[in-house]
Amino acid sequence: MSESPHPRADELDELTAFEFVALMHAEDVAAVSAIGPQIDQVARAVEAIAERLRAGGRLHYFGAGTSGLIARLDAAECPATFGVAPDLVQAYAVDEAAAEDDRDLGRDTARDAGIGPRDAVVGISASGGTAYVLGALDRSASEGALQVAITCHPGSPLGAAVDIAIEVDTGPEVIAGSTRLKAGTVQKLVLNMLSTAVLTRLAHTHRGRMVGVVAANDKLRARAALVVAMLGGVSADEAAAALEAAAGSPKTAIVMLRRGVGADDARELLDGAAGDLKIVLAAGRAQGASAE
């Protein structure tokens, strides 16, 4: 458990800098490996969350302290990375220590979020006992939302209260109770898996490329142009021109290039396929084959 002293706690103060960081590295590697036995639960959560979002639901994260910060980070990256609406993935977190103990605050936050039966809720808590998170899941359960837990304490109250529990036993931290270390790393990795796999299954990526990337600065415009060039089969200059004509949308630009249509027609094709680039391109190949 994260609150238990590390087996080498009594000698930590005497270690060299190299020995100390080598120990931390070994512990990090072990913590990452501890995710392995929970991969089936992660996959179950991916499928269940994707089903809710496909039906028009949203994904909500609840956490406190370090867990809340990690949740905010994952949610904040989704719009720019995948081109999804800002409210599709949302994080609710408290930073003040006293607020972590406020179960009613968690309930109120979940109520104000307007969570409904099509939504998915992920509670993130290293201990699995954070009152704020438990309160939020109390409320979301009453609304019929899918409930998922990410904890580092198997058998915790949070894990027992949800539909799908992802419980990664990371063991004692090098500094007892400092869950920003192994527990924080593992929670970040699991959230990476959840959001990335879910949004990939919902066609917000294509062949491992960020076709939904929002080209909001020079770096992202260059990334978007590279994606269009690779998937559109054109030069960098042609990709940049298509991207400009597509108002910065890589998906639209790729359809324009691969299907030989204008921006409006490309958008219409994407809308008809619920934004799934694979479907639009496959239909184009099928049309080409039948024409032969």
- Give one DSSP letter per residue of the chain, joined into a string: -TTSPPTTGGGGGGS-HHHHHHHHHHHHHHHHHTTGGGHHHHHHHHHHHHHHHHTT--EEEEEEHHHHHHHHHHHHHHHHHH---TTTEEEEEE-SHHHHT-HHHHHHHHHHTT--TT-EEEEEESSS--HHHHHHHHHHHHTT-EEEEEESSTT-HHHHTSSEEEE------SSTT-TTTHHHHHHHHHHHHHHHHHHHHTTSSBTTB-TT----SHHHHHHHHHHHHHHHT--HHHHHHHHHHTTT-HHHHHHHHHHT--HHHHHHHHHHTTT-HHHHHHHHHHHHHHH-
Contact of 227 with 211, CB cutoff 8 Å:
yes
pLDDT recorded at residue 1: 60
For the chain (292 residues), the mean pLDDT of every run of 10, in chain order, is: 86 97 97 98 98 97 97 96 95 95 98 97 97 98 97 97 97 94 97 98 95 89 95 95 95 96 97 95 77 54
Whole-structure pTM value:
0.93
CB atoms closer than 10 angstroms to residue 55: 10
What class, spelled out in words, does domain 11-201 have in CATH?
A: alpha beta
pLDDT recorded at residue 3: 78
In order of 141, 193, 246, 253, 265, the CA distances from 238 in angstroms are: 51, 34, 12, 10, 19
Per the structure block, which two tokens stand in for 180? 């920003």
In order of 45, 63, 66, 134, 162, the CA distances from 149 in angstroms are: 9, 10, 15, 10, 6
Give the active site residues. Answer: 77, 100
Alpha carbon dihedral 24, 30, 35, 37, in 10-degree steps, equals -160
pLDDT recorded at residue 246: 95
Q: Which CATH number fits domain 218-291: 1.10.8.1080, 1.20.1730.10, 1.10.1740.10, 3.20.20.70?
A: 1.10.8.1080
- Angle in degrees, CA 275, 279, 280, rounded to 5: 75
Are 11-201 and 218-291 in the same CATH fold?
Answer: no
Residue whose entry in the numeric block shows the structure tokens 């020079």: 218
Domains of the chain, by residue range, sit at 11-201, 218-291
